[in-house]
Amino acid sequence: MKIAVTGAYGQLGGELCRLLGDDAAGLDIDTLDLTDGPAVIAALSDLAPDAVVHCAAYTRVDRAESEPEACEAVNVTAVEHLVEACGRLDCPLVQISTDYVFGGPAYRTAPFCEDDPPSPQGVYARSKLAGERAAGRHSKHLIVRTCGLYARPSDQRAGNFVKTMLRLGRSQQEPRVVCDQQCTPSYVPHVAEAVLSLLGTPAGRPAPWGIYHVTNAGATNWYEFAKEILRLAGMDVTVQPITTAEYAAAAPRPAYSVLDTTKYEALGGPVMPTWESALSSYIEEWKTVGEE
């Protein structure tokens, strides 16, 4: 199979290209402007991929509040262009989405299922839901919601929360981390393998079209996650818990956005380890490669 991967320089897109090898056609801003409809149709028509995995996104959550047009162009309009191109090619479109489509209240304790009504808060979250709905208009669509991605430590293409905590730990800075947002940070290599399994790669048939939740197992908050990062790294650094209100970000965050992955698990694809096990795998590699 030839699979076009947008956002090839990002964390998930880069990992998918690594796993696919010669079967990947990596696309990023230097090779294709996804907001240019004719260019998207021309490029994909030339490539004639067997599937498109759309990882590219506007992810600057706080800046989106002051750049709504730019956010919508990347997270909605670009998806509409891909839908048109995939329709012409009659090939599947995999749309990567986010737990942010759920604005769960702090008192919620039940993970969100795929058919729970979304409740996005903020420009970024609303744009990602609109992107899902655009992708859903293509007959052959897989929408994959995930959460808190962090790539392997040898991947230096993008920053992430784990890298930031390790950098602060090495400099003996005491990070202040939000303690009242419950979610499931997820390791990119695990998510990438799951995405390919849903697509039926390298062999087999794709999963039934629709929405799937794919994260590591379990749940935590960013404060507890930060403490575990530093503990596993052997860094004696205190993490200061703060509330979302104290953090005072421009964009709202879900207080609870844990995703129920039962639907994905029922397909018998690669098992998603717990978030603790996934983080341990990251730290083991980090100690070997010495990357921050």
Number of domains in the chain: 1
Closest CA to 245 of 179, 185, 183: 179
pLDDT at 75: 98
Domain-located, residue 168: no
Q: Report the CATH number at residue 125.
A: 3.40.50.720
Domain-located, residue 230: no
User: pTM for the whole thing?
Assistant: 0.96
**pLDDT tens across the length of the chain (292 residues):** 899 999 999 999 999 999 999 999 999 999 999 999 999 999 999 999 999 999 999 999 999 999 999 999 999 999 999 999 999 999 999 999 999 999 877 788 899 999 999 999 999 999 999 999 999 999 999 999 999 999 999 988 778 999 999 999 999 889 999 999 999 999 999 999 999 999 998 778 899 999 999 999 999 999 999 999 999 999 999 999 999 999 999 999 999 999 999 999 999 999 999 999 999 999 999 999 865 5
Q: Which domain holds residue 209?
A: 3-151+186-215+259-272
Domain-located, residue 58: yes
Domain-located, residue 175: no
Domain-located, residue 66: yes
pLDDT at 107: 81
pLDDT at 279: 98
Domain-located, residue 162: no
Domain-located, residue 156: no
Residues identified as active-site: 124
Domain-located, residue 277: no
113 close to 210: Cβ distance less than 8 angstroms: no
